[in-house]
Amino acid sequence: MKMQLSEIANAIGCDLSMNESTIVSSVVFDSRKAVADSLFVPLVGERDGHDYVANAVANGAVAALWQKDHANRPENIPVLVVDDTLLALQKLAKYYLQKVNPTVVGITGSNGKTTTKDMVAAVLSKRFNVHKTQANFNNEIGVPITILEMKPTTEILVLEMGMDRAGQLHHLSEIVCPDVCVITMIGEAHIEFFGTRDKIADAKMEITDFLKEDGKFIFNGDEPLLQARAQKLNQLQATFGFNSTDTIYATNFNSYMHHASFTINDSKVKFTIPMIGKHNVSNALAAILVGRTFGVPDVEIAQALANFVPTANRMQWEKGDLGEAIMSDVYNSNPTAAKAVLTSFSQVDVDAFGRRIAVLGDMLELGAASHQLHASLAEVLTPQLIDELYLYGPEMKYLFEALSGKYESSALHYYEKDHMDRMINDLREDIKPHDIVMLKGSHGMHLEKVLERLL
């Protein structure tokens, strides 16, 4: 972006008393990331960003927003005074989005939205100038920043849109007014705040609240909760999944150590993705439908999917200190995702002298159902599929108890949250070069520290 301060002031509806011709080329909310010609947006949270305006200026910021209920307004730089700095950031993003006017693809879901976003961006980049959400900038702060980071030449904007409460996706949808909406699936993520999967489905459907009238809704057709709700929409629709009732469905699915391959019902093209698991094939099916919506041929879609680069810590293979293969999926976890990854991991071929070892950390934000949902992972765990388990965190105790009758005590290990170092040491003594190891847990359990010690 590149705008004069006077244009920004008009866009967010506030007065500017000095330096109206100052040029702003980026917007930041972290003073450490301020650079020359940036606008600093001080947000009020656990820390108050207004306390860091001087730091932002020292790093190159040329102007700042300022919430009018704060005293000690800076006088050494242009300041745009607003009622609420977050709302002003969102308003500016909406203005810039309308100015650049790209086609918008919004993606949400309990699992798979980041991977699907990466796949969709790779597919569309075959034909268009595409800007996509970086990392997990998918909330009420991240979505506006993603918009403001796009180049004026952007033709398609691919936005990951997350939520942890009702109304959040409604608000984000109002900001971006998507042309295409994608819902990957409905799981138990954030069920602590919603209570039921029905309410989660209602919250996910909010992404369609401001879907353009001539837009398109693409969703997982194997999810009855989405099927029922989609009937209320008038926009074009297409479904993906593994049933013959879907618009496109996977056939001849095969999963290997580092990739999966499949075909679909209405194409002669064979598709390959550099990730394992049926759930990632589902994400690829969504990307195929989006690609087709924009006229990308199946052959080019297949090329893009075969070479796309997933965001870090999503089923990422690493080589351990002893030569063992380690599959790291430690960004987040919930029961649906954990079962899918465990199932995929159990299908990976292992050396005749090796074992499959899974390290599982607590799945957070599951509320009153947490004990039961952790124990439910036992449904996909047997010694014949996964040889040994290392369970970490207070909630994993319930899975440990559920598995006590299935596994020998020598193959089932449980650790309290303050015993990570002991678990890592036990793992290092246990792992052999021919083993394969899986790490899966919510980000708050910090299993990335286990990965660091094993590498």
Annotated binding site: 109-115
- Nearest CA to 27 out of 54, 3, 10 is that of 3
Residue 84 and residue 265: Cα distance in Å, rounded? 51
Cα four-point dihedral sign 381, 278, 274, 362? negative
Residue 300 and residue 282: Cα distance in Å, rounded? 18
Q: Which residues are annotated as a binding site for ATP?
A: 109-115
Q: Say if residues 180 and 215 touch (Cβ distance below 8 Å).
A: yes
Q: Which two tokens stand for residue 422?
A: 């002991």
Residue 32 and residue 45: Cα distance in Å, rounded? 16
- Nearest CA to 257 out of 346, 385, 337, 349 is that of 349
Helix or strand or coil: residue 349? coil
Cα four-point dihedral sign 409, 425, 415, 316? negative
In the chain, the largest separation of any two C-alpha atoms, in whole Å, equals 74
Q: Which two tokens stand for residue 267?
A: 């194409």
Q: At what angle do helices 168-176 and 142-149 cross, to 10 degrees?
A: 20
- Give the Å distances, CA to CA, from 315 to 333, 371, 447: 12, 25, 13
